[in-house]
Amino acid sequence: MDMAVADIGVIKQHLIDPEICIRCNTCEATCPVGAITHDDRNYVVRADVCNGCMACISPCPTGSIDNWRSMPVAKAYSIEEQLTWDELPAELTPEQLQAEGAGAPAELPPQQQAATAAAATASEQIAEPEPGTVAFNSAQYGATTPPWSAAHAYTNLYPPKAPTTATVVGNFNCTEAGYENQTHHIVLDLGAMPFPVLEGQSIGIIPPGTDASGKPHFARQYSVASPRNGERPGYNNISLTVKRVLQDHQGRPVRGVASNYVCDLKVGDKVQVIGPFGSSFLMPNHPKSHIVMICTGTGSAPMRAMTEWRRRLRKSGKFEGGKLLLFFGARTQQELPYFGPLQSLPKDFIDINFAFSRTPGSPKRYVQDLMRERAADLAELLKDGQSHFYVCGLKSMEEGVVLALRDVAGEAGLDWDTVGAALKREGRLHLETY
């Protein structure tokens, strides 16, 4: 029996704080029972589906997911109500609960406590699906803890109600000129304001103005593309990789509010910034650790940051890095961000593999196709406990990539359930898709 609808008079209803949420979709992608949904403004939790397993709590980069309200079962907030919120409702007082005919939250009966505990345990483990009954769930293999050697990440220094201001010091199109699908490299200077970031973290940018309903725009999240010591070493600046959105996932014309605002910024413009966010999608810092990076489009941002930090370490001569292996996909070579700079990196520093899915006259190739072609090399890395895997890009790529890892493992005689569980447990397989 689900905890959320147990007939105990009062429940602790799971809610998402719309003031803090940055709409990154992590919670919905992580929820194992499909209790979380969203519209174009808010993410919400279905009280009649949520079983209190807590699987979504740890991955949330802002903590907006960890909110609870004591509510009479019969008056639990519906998703329709939650979708209209700009802030969470106040907690009901004991007197208000009593007036609704409900007492204090009752302790769950032993059998429900056991069911809830089992659900929580199950959410942390990788379940073995019955053949033909459950679709492959790639998200269950994604780690929610960072590598053991990751640096400490500072998060939520600037919340939505108290953003800081950054100045644009650079903005250029990092895809080939003349193509409609533009991706811009944006450099922001934080001045004297403390804003420590690590490779793999993200920030939020608040577009000016209001939406169609007259409400202020909420922040949009962007991965940081620069290493920890700045886009320009020794300066308090960061870079972003932002694609100008001109159509939705169905190919219909739209004009992305935040992406077009950011891509149109001029040097000297001021922007409102929140964050940083993220405490698990972080790179290892110990010598001889290997990094396998699999990305598409603007999912290259954290990979650029990790690669540049390793390049700077190598140049210093003070760090012995392991292997760097990059699988990078785009529609065409012309639309691939940073294609030129990537070509100039030494071959003995990073092993780069490109996949283009819309090159005229050529068959479609995706990153998972390249991974299967490099199965022998990936198998050796899967066997090595020093290997760390990072996946970033569109949600549609995630399943294919994890399935490719599973197939590579199987062909090498490795048990994927054992390997996948170890990667998750040890913080060595990170999935950040949207």
Q: Catalytic annotation on 392?
A: yes
DSSP H or E run through 305: helix 300-316
CB atoms within 10 A of CB 376: 10
Q: Catalytic annotation on 222?
A: yes
CB atoms within 10 A of CB 413: 8
Token pair, residue 257, equals 């509010």
Q: Catalytic annotation on 158?
A: no
Residue 365 neighbours by CB under 8 Å, 6+ apart: 329, 355, 356, 357
Among 43, 141, 158, 222, which one carries the catalytic annotation? 222
Mapping DSSP to helix (H, G, I), strand (E, B) and coil, where does residue 324 land?
Answer: strand
CB atoms within 10 A of CB 209: 9
Residues linked to residue 253 through DSSP beta bridges, in sequence order:
247
- Which amino acid makes up residue 260? N
Q: Which residue has the tokens 């793999």?
A: 200
Cα separation, 76 vs 70, in Å, equals 9
Among 53, 366, 392, 398, which one carries the catalytic annotation? 392
Token pair, residue 289, equals 């650790």
Alpha helices in 65-188 (DSSP H): 79-82, 94-99, 110-124
Say what angle helices 395-411 and 375-383 make with each other, to 10 degrees: 80
Among 223, 239, 280, 289, which one carries the catalytic annotation? 223
Token pair, residue 75, equals 């008056």
- Which amino acid makes up residue 385? G
Are the C-beta atoms of 429 and 141 separated by less than 8 Å?
yes
Q: Catalytic annotation on 432?
A: yes
Pairing of strands 202-206, 220-223: antiparallel
- Say what the alpha-carbon torsion angle 363, 367, 369, 373 is, to the nearest 10 degrees: 120
Among 77, 154, 235, 434, which one carries the catalytic annotation? 434
User: Would you name the residues annotated as active-site residues?
Assistant: 222-223, 392, 432, 434
